[in-house]
Amino acid sequence: MTRVLSVTSECVPLVKTGGLADVAGALPAALAGQGVEMRTLLPGYPAVLAAQADADPVRQIPDLFGGPARILRGSLGGTVLYILDAPHLYARDGGLYLAPDGKDWPDNPQRFAALCKAAALIGAEGVDGWRPRALHLHDWQAGLAPVYLRQLGVQDVRCLLTIHNIAFQGIAPAHLLGALGLPAQLFNPQGFEYWGKISALKAGIVFADKVSTVSPTYAEELLTPEFGMGMEGVLAARSADFTGILNGIDLDAWTPPYQTPAGKAPLRKALRTEFGLPESDGPLCVVVSRLTGQKGLDLLIEALPVLLDGGGQLAVLGSGDAGLEIAFRDAAARHPGVGLRLGYDEALARRMIAGGDAILVPSRFEPCGLTQLYGLRFGTLPLVALTGGLADTVVNASAAALAAGVATGVQFHPVTVQALSRALSRLCALWRQPAVWDRMARNAMAQPVGWDASAGAYADLFRAMTA
């Protein structure tokens, strides 16, 4: 049994801001059947401690970046969870990364360096009678762990860094070198220095044994200036050790309450009622997303008349950019075929995916994406941009794919208003061919979107790393 410690800043069902939490929550159980014992290390945010009130202390750390800390042992489903209880770093109101004023916590470098240092200590000395052979490091928040392992002289613990979104790089000012306990000799272009500053993500890319990201296409995109966000050269230097492994979803947690697409009918009707939408002969499209430019939702606002003119409707759940919130609010006020709920509601999101006919994901970049996987699982046809994991998971309704009976959704490229408008027009045209739409929805529901294949790829990687 290969022992792996997953080091993550968020994890369902305890704390979540994005897809990272879903992956970190699902992988330990998925890997258990692959001969990998994965335990998880998570910061002791108030919500985590409240949910794990019976967690037992298994290690004391007298001074961890400004105060004492403990490692607690709790549980994550049927697997072990370690909690870094450091009140001076985590016991505060606000978000995981953002203060109540909406800005980054000023001590974020220390908060997540502490997570990395705790992971390195577990790697070096073990905890609770258990010592990992590998660390699975998620995003920049875990990126400094290989540096701390090196400082501790550990040579028999391997590191895999998984990049979930390269837009977040953990940049800190150079004057924090001493405060973070980082070696000055590694503060150079070949180390973790990045334009005169410290980059925790670059540290992980450079010093981890292997680097992965969450889809094969995103791995290719990250090697280009368009998507690499300044890290393309660093990743290119690690290309022999860099791979893309597609995310999956928890099939038990995401099981449709119907066996065939026909079962959507009452749920579609209920969803229209919930959003105040009239009956319509067109497809009911849903968006469950952060309202940001990355997600391409400004393009959807401009292309919206094409969907509405084609008989389609739109139900939106999300929040984010103030300008986009206003734009969708205005669209809902002007058009009876548009409904909006600002904020996030997990139960409503599930009702939307179950009752919608199509789910729109027009992202400018999307490392993997999970909403299109939920859409496939529920026969809610994804309309997606041809990028990242969206390109890897949706079979476009091209003439060839339709003729072969294998299409599962609609893709568009380039990511422009014009291309999205054409895709929405195609979607409405497909809806007017009930037999074709039904075949696509059945294909979608039959797609393998669980963790089996991906968990096997991770298990193979961990075994190769620790052999």
Which residues are annotated as part of the binding site for ADP-alpha-D-glucose? 16
Distance in angstroms (rounded) separating the CA atoms of residues 310 and 383: 15
Distance in angstroms (rounded) separating the CA atoms of residues 91 and 100: 13
Distance in angstroms (rounded) separating the CA atoms of residues 119 and 96: 19
List Cβ neighbours of 433 (8 Å cut-off, separation of 6 or more): none
Report the candidate in 131, 124, 120 with the shortest Cα–Cα distance to residue 39: 131
Can you say whether the dihedral through the CA atoms of 82, 87, 93, 95 is positive or negative?
negative
DSSP assigned state of 141: G
Helix axes 346-355 and 265-275, enclosed angle (nearest 10)? 130
Report the candidate in 1, 126, 127 with the shortest Cα–Cα distance to residue 74: 127
Three-state DSSP at 214 gives: coil
Cα distances from 392 to residues 247, 330, 435, 455, in angstroms, run 11, 34, 25, 17
Can you say whether the dihedral through the CA atoms of 35, 205, 70, 133 is positive or negative?
positive
Residues 277 and 50: beta-carbon distance below 8 Å: no
Can you say whether the dihedral through the CA atoms of 19, 292, 116, 221 is positive or negative?
positive
Q: How much is the CA Rg of the chain, to the nearest whole Å?
A: 23
Indicate the annotated binding residues: 16
Strands 69-76, 56-61: pairing is antiparallel
Distance in angstroms (rounded) separating the CA atoms of residues 213 and 211: 7
